[in-house]
Structure formats: structure tokens, C-alpha cells
Amino acid sequence: MPGSQRRSLTSPSVLLAIVLLLTACNSSEDEGGTIGGGAIDSTSSTAAESVETTTTTALETTTTAAPTIEEEVLAAYLSYWQAVDVAFSPPQAQPDLPALRQYATGEVIDIVAAVQLALDEDYVYRIPDGGQYVHRAEVLSVDGDTATVRDCSIDDTIQEVASSGEVIDDAVSTRLHIAMLVLEDGQWKVSVLNQETTWEGVAGCAADS
């Protein structure tokens, strides 16, 4: 504050305060060496505790079994049909689709020419959303490098004009196929595909499923 006098550090009131403070400190030391008389218990101090945490991680080893020959045959057969579906699908047929030659051989390689015809004549096959299209296939036998598959399929694909979307044929049918696959260079391929029976609608082998 401007104009005030500074108090001397040697005034009686200051000396009295220092004496009282020293007395209080000595009294505290006599009561156990603690500030404010509170004892420090080293046995209960969390700072003195040693906490050992052991974490055990269980390493789970997942072993994936190699597919059986039957599973490989079935996967190749269904992959053939997936390739056919893609090759014939909108917006236009794809005869050069690599998967066709990957899963077809022998007389079945003619599927490439069939897709080429679809491209030339401007039609495609579309699988409808929420449709019934399915292949229910099973391996009947495997003998060395050849295998036989039975397939009951429901076909509700819609044949359309590729350029306009006009429907050509939307009939539903059920087909029973017997297919032969051969192992070529480590890859199972469909070599023979015989259509044994055809039913209109969902019928025949599909009705029994």
C-alpha cells in the first residue's frame, strides 16, 4: 500500500511467533517423529508393498484339417457352375472368363462356345433375387483321378435380351445331372455332364429334398 511503514522482523510479536513454532515442532518429534502426531506404519504402507502379478496367456493352436478328396471334388464341381453363372450373367456374356477353362475340360469345354453364342446373339441369364436357384450335389465315387457327382438342381434363371432386358424365358425347372470329373495338373475339372432327367417347376429330385 503506498505510504505504509514496513514492520521490523525483530519486533516482539515476530519473536513470539518463532518461539511458538519451534515449541510445536519439538513436541511433534517427541510424539513419534510424525507430522501432526500421526504414526507411519511401514507394514501397512502401500508404497512398501511388493505386488507381483503373474499373467498366463493360453496360446490356442488351431489346426485346420486338409480337405478330403471328396470335398475337393465337390468344391470344383460347384465352382464350375459358379463360373457358368458368371459367364452368362448381365450385362453381357463373357466367353473369355478364365474360370470356365479352369474348371471345364473334355466335352464340357464346349461351354465356352455356348457362352460365345450368347454374346453373339445378345442374350444373358440372370439369377433372380430371392430365387430358388440351387445345386444340391453329392460325390458318388472317387476312383484315382476320376470322380462321379450327382446333382439335383433347381433352375429359375431368367433368360433376357442383354441390350434391352426383355425377358425371353423365365420358366422354372428341376434337373438331375450326373457329372464326371478328372484330375488334371492337380485341379479337378468337369469333363462329362449328362442331364439325366428334367421336370417342370420344383419337382422330381428337388421335391424329395
Kindly compute the dihedral angle of the four CA atoms of residues 99, 100, 104, 110, in this order, to the nearest 10 degrees: -170
Residue 50 lies in a domain: no
Residue 74 lies in a domain: yes
Residue 208 lies in a domain: no
Residue 156: pLDDT band (50, 70, 90) is very high
Percent of the chain, pLDDT > 70? 70
Handedness of CA 154, 159, 165, 167 (dihedral sign): negative
Residue 205 lies in a domain: no
3-state secondary structure of 79: helix
Q: How far apart, in whole angstroms, are the C-alpha atoms of residue 203 and residue 66? A: 36
Q: Are 105 and 188 in contact (CB under 8 A)?
A: no
What's the average model confidence in pLDDT over 36-43? Answer: 36
Span 77-127, pLDDT tens digits = 999 999 999 999 999 999 999 999 999 999 999 999 999 999 999 999 999
Mean of all residue pLDDT scores within the chain = 80
The pLDDT, as a whole number, for residue 149 is: 99
128 torsion bin: left (phi>0), alpha (psi -120 to 50), beta (else): beta
Residue 37 lies in a domain: no
What's the average model confidence in pLDDT over 55-60? Answer: 49
What's the average model confidence in pLDDT over 168-192? Answer: 98
Residue 164 lies in a domain: yes
The pLDDT, as a whole number, for residue 60 is: 59
Residue 34: pLDDT band (50, 70, 90) is very low
- Looking at per-residue pLDDT, the higher value among 113 and 37 belongs to 113
The pLDDT, as a whole number, for residue 9 is: 36
Q: Where does 31-163 have alpha helices with state H? A: 69-88, 98-103, 111-120
Query: Residues of 71-103 as b/e, b for ≥16 C-beta within 10 angstroms?
Result: ebbbebbebbbebbeebbbeeebbbebeebeeb
pLDDT of residue 166 exceeding 80: yes
The pLDDT, as a whole number, for residue 90 is: 98
The pLDDT, as a whole number, for residue 197 is: 97
Burial of 115 (0-12, 13-18, 19+ CB in 10 A): buried
Q: Which residue range(s) make up the domain with 109?
A: 70-200
pLDDT of residue 57 exceeding 80: no
CATH number of the CATH domain containing 95 = 3.10.450.50
Span 58-77, pLDDT tens digits = 455 667 899 999 999 999 99
Span 179-188, pLDDT tens digits = 999 999 999 9
Residue 142 lies in a domain: yes
Q: What length does the chain have?
A: 209
What is the count of structural domains for the chain? 1
